[in-house]
Amino acid sequence: MSQEVYGLLSIILSIAFIGLAWWALQSFRFDKILKKPNGAQAKLLQIILSIVIGYELSRFFLDYLGWSLTFGNLFN
């Protein structure tokens, strides 16, 4: 896989998983653990959490892709 394709795939997966994490965090009950769940700080926390979770998920899948591609070269 060329570096250009890998770079584009990295960007697309990162954005997709950040969006997926944001969507999943919308069902989390922040009002149970935060003082002001509708405040700006709570929204910033949701954004930061979605970026961290989404980035880690995309890194996992990209690492898995890289491992599977190098594993294919083992039998050549």
pLDDT, tens digit (0-9, with 9 covering 90-100), for 49-75: 999 999 999 999 999 988 888 887 777
CA atoms within 13 A on the CB side of 62: 20
Looking at the domain assignment, is residue 60 inside a domain?
A: yes
| 75 within domain boundaries | no
Q: pTM to 2 decimals?
A: 0.82
Asked if 62 contacts 10 with a C-beta cutoff of 8 angstroms, the reply is: yes
- Closest of 17, 7, 27 to residue 53, by C-alpha: 17
Alpha-carbon gap, residue 22 to 55, rounded angstroms: 12
3-17, 25-39, 44-58: least confidently modelled range? 25-39
> Domain span at residue 27?
8-67
49 domain residue, yes or no = yes
Band of residue 29 on the pLDDT scale cut at 50, 70, 90: confident
Number of domains making up the chain:
1
* Dist. CA 59–CA 53, nearest whole Å: 10
pLDDT value, residue 71: 82
